[in-house]
Structure 1
Amino acid sequence: MSAVAWIAVGSLIAWVWLLLGQGFYWRTDQRLPRRTDPARWPSVAVVVPARDEAEMLPVSLPSLLVQDYPGDARIILVDDCSSDGTGQLARELAARFGGLPLTVVEPGEPEPGWTGKLWALRHGIALARLQKPDFLLLTDADIAHEPDSLRDLVAAAGGPDGFDLVSQMARLRVESFWERLVVPAFVYFFGQLYPFRRVNRARSRTAAAAGGCVLLRTEAAERARIPESIRQAVIDDVSLAREVRRGGGRIWLGLAERVDSVRPYPRLRDLWRMVARSAYAQLRHSPLLLAGTVPGLLLVYVAPPATLVAGLATGDGVAAWAGGAAWAVMTATYLPMLAYYRQSPWLGPLLPVTAVLYLLMTVDSAVQHHRGRGAAWKGRTYARPDPDGTPDAAPGR
């Protein structure tokens, strides 16, 4: 066989393995478990870290304030040095909508060794623990919840022998062209790295969560020393789930039906920043892992259409057949995620284009890291880790 045919066959083998051997990651049937309502509804403290979120709060915060929850629940919004009046707006929304009691706290700039979000969570969780809640709901300021969201999450967690962590991957916005092209693939790739079915197995070594919506049993948080044990994490949700599982906790992760992200990413530049800020951290800032990832992604995602075209152009039947079959399997695994996002199946064959974009975002993330810029978000830059393993935060950059 020709070299092109061998590449096509290798790609097809990779896709057969992904289809059958990677935890059926492509299925979208991991939804919130339905449980019987408890006899006594446990108490919940909702902790919302917020930095310059005045644009998002009018949509997201009222959805928390009006939660239809039978037990004791309260909201703690941590204003993380916002410059747009986030804290004051939160107080005004609470006065207008009523509902669950709201407390706004301002912890100041992060200490060295802390990322901004986890610094905010540290103060919010510490304040929540004074009331000794049974559960903590950690939810981002750009996440909107249906009125029964908290009730469903707590019921899914179950009693003392239930889940210690229940997390839902909020449905992201898909309205602009770039959102339709990139966002469903973002969740698809996340599921490929952390197959939800494997995460949800009791004795699995795979652990992950979706940081926008995490219900955490307070006991489990204390056992795992959350957030102190993950204070340096850029990908904080996955790190949190790992620590909870390491502490003996049971975790569950699935796709949301009634929890939505309201943050828009209308331009490619917006999505690029969102992905690139943590892409290299996913590779543990390893040049060797990056060097293996680049040809690996090219083989898996770019080789199928490329070898199909090359095979048709040169009359290489094996290359054309194997490349076409690999592309077909790839597209088939992507269709369930497109259906979940209510997008046209015709976007399926474009997954190689999106994969190339993600590859370029990852390379850019590595370049920025090695230039000392690290992960940047809302005016803060987290540069390369210090020798002790903690990041050097540079506020204001």
Structure 2
Amino acid sequence: MGQTARVSAFAWIAAGSLAAWLWLLLCQGFFWRTDVRLPRRSRPDEWPSVCVVVPARDEAAVLPMSLPSLLAQDYPGRAEIFLIDDGSSDGTGALARDLAQRHGGLPLTVASPGEPPAGWTGKLWAVRHGIELARVRDPEYLLLTDADIAHAPDSLRELVAAAHTGGFDVVSQMARLRVESLWERLVVPAFVYFFAQLYPFRRIGKKGTRTAAAAGGCVLMRTETAQRARIPDAIRHAVIDDVALARAVKGGGGHIWLGLAERVDSVRPYPRLADLWRMVSRSAYAQLRHNPLVLAGTVAGLALVYLVPPVAVVGGLVGGDTTTAVTGALAWLVMTGTYGPMLRYYRQPLWLAPLLPFTAFLYLLMTVDSAVQHYRGRGAAWKGRTYARPDTVPDEG
């Protein structure tokens, strides 16, 4: 009787997982679809001026693959690049000047703001300095892009055309991340899949919705929008700066669009699991607002949604509980089906889709590790800097 009760309870847990997946499939903004690409766009009568701001810290390894693509932008209007060297120790600034001299193209200014003051992350302090330099040119748009992002020659033109045609205050593209090593193939598509699950792209683009997010590697923003939303000062301590930027803009009534990129790519390699682990764990607990209760709920949710289906299948088959096994298999099937489009977008084989529970388990461990590192005083650490919790940062006077 006790064994029957336990099996029955597990069947109910499997049913809860299946219900969660049916809800995600139908009611979470169709997050699993990958057809949200740059919206309809037409050529402006007069192309607005744009300043490109590139914060860079110790990026000498990737700059030769990314900066030339910005210098070579085929943009009909006035455009200029500001690369802000955030205290690099590997010659990033000198390399940027050398690349500009060799490749030509758009004008490049390299500057350094010095060490960030208390309450600022290094990236946002660099972005602030770049925006201040850009405002002297009075551009209509700012393109904030990371130093590891390579753009197709028409990227800037298409971004501006989309913003102009759709009346968007922010147009952001989720750059296609590198997927070459085994671990990149297992972890990277899932990273974007989980992000879209948290922030469904379709909801972000609709006015009146509260869902707001951007992809920090490629954010085109109207200059007046940045001024109105006090970007980046209003989000100066944000570790997850792209989401914070989007919330600040949308909270002020701005119109945001976010989608997947077709010709904007990250050139940064993450060949080992340790590299990917650091990428995720450095900000995972910040995403949970450093709240242990939210962490516990997240771990429980990940277990229910991603881990229960395969465990139910195996446990049901071993224990002779057909109901549990079938219910778990259905949940696993829905999970696999929703992951397929992201794998196709990343040009990966579909046989990786059933392995999503394993990848989700890795993310669960990364999230827990992020919390552990935070309480050890090593949370939100990146490139030699460790950032405090926002509630420990003094407000501006």
2:81 corresponds to 1:85 = no
User: Paired residue for 1:132?
Assistant: 138
CA distance in 2, matches of 1:177, 1:5: 34
2:297 corresponds to 1:292 = yes
List alignment gaps of at least 5 residues for structure 1. 391-397
2:308 corresponds to 1:312 = no
Decide whether the 8 Å contact of 2:237 with 2:393 is kept in 1: no
CA distance in 2, matches of 1:227, 1:371: 29
List alignment gaps of at least 5 residues for structure 2. 1-6
CA distance in 1, matches of 2:78, 2:192: 33
Q: TM-score, normalised by structure 2?
A: 0.97
1:142 deviation in Å? 0.1
The verdict on how the C-alpha distance between 1:201 and 1:14 changes in structure 2, with shifts beyond 3 A counting, is same
Q: SS of the counterpart of 1:331?
A: helix
1:246 deviation in Å? 1.2
For 2:342, which of 323, 334, 337 is the aligned residue? 337
2:99 corresponds to 1:100 = no
Decide whether the 8 Å contact of 1:370 with 1:384 is kept in 2: no
| Number of equivalenced pairs | 390
CA distance in 2, matches of 1:389, 1:112: 8
Superposed, 1:5-16 pairs within 5 Å as 5-16=11-22
Q: SS of the counterpart of 1:158?
A: helix
CA distance in 1, matches of 2:122, 2:373: 19
Q: SS of the counterpart of 1:41?
A: coil
- 1:185-236 per-position Cα deviation (integer Å, ceiling 9, x unaligned): 0000000000000001111110000000000000100000000000000000
Decide whether the 8 Å contact of 1:49 with 1:78 is kept in 2: yes
User: Paired residue for 1:226?
Assistant: 231
Q: Which amino acid aligns with 1:313?
A: V
1:383 deviation in Å? 3.0
- 1:19-53 per-position Cα deviation (integer Å, ceiling 9, x unaligned): 01111000001000131100000000000000000
User: Paired residue for 2:39?
Assistant: 33
1:314 deviation in Å? 1.1
2:69 corresponds to 1:63 = yes
For 2:208, which of 199, 203, 211 is the aligned residue? 203
User: Paired residue for 2:162?
Assistant: 156
User: Paired residue for 1:72?
Assistant: 78
User: Paired residue for 1:377?
Assistant: 382
User: Paired residue for 1:250?
Assistant: 255
Q: SS of the counterpart of 1:75?
A: strand
CA distance in 2, matches of 1:387, 1:10: 39
Q: TM-score, normalised by structure 1?
A: 0.97
1:347 deviation in Å? 0.3
2:9 corresponds to 1:3 = yes
User: Paired residue for 2:365?
Assistant: 360
CA distance in 2, matches of 1:387, 1:343: 43
Decide whether the 8 Å contact of 2:169 with 2:222 is kept in 1: yes
Identity value in percent: 75
Q: Which amino acid aligns with 2:105?
A: G
CA distance in 1, matches of 2:141, 2:254: 14
Decide whether the 8 Å contact of 2:87 with 2:112 is kept in 1: yes
User: Paired residue for 1:188?
Assistant: 193
User: Paired residue for 1:147?
Assistant: 153
Decide whether the 8 Å contact of 1:53 with 1:141 is kept in 2: yes
CA distance in 2, matches of 1:28, 1:385: 33
2:107 corresponds to 1:110 = no
1:334 deviation in Å? 0.2
The verdict on how the C-alpha distance between 1:386 and 1:282 changes in structure 2, with shifts beyond 3 A counting, is closer
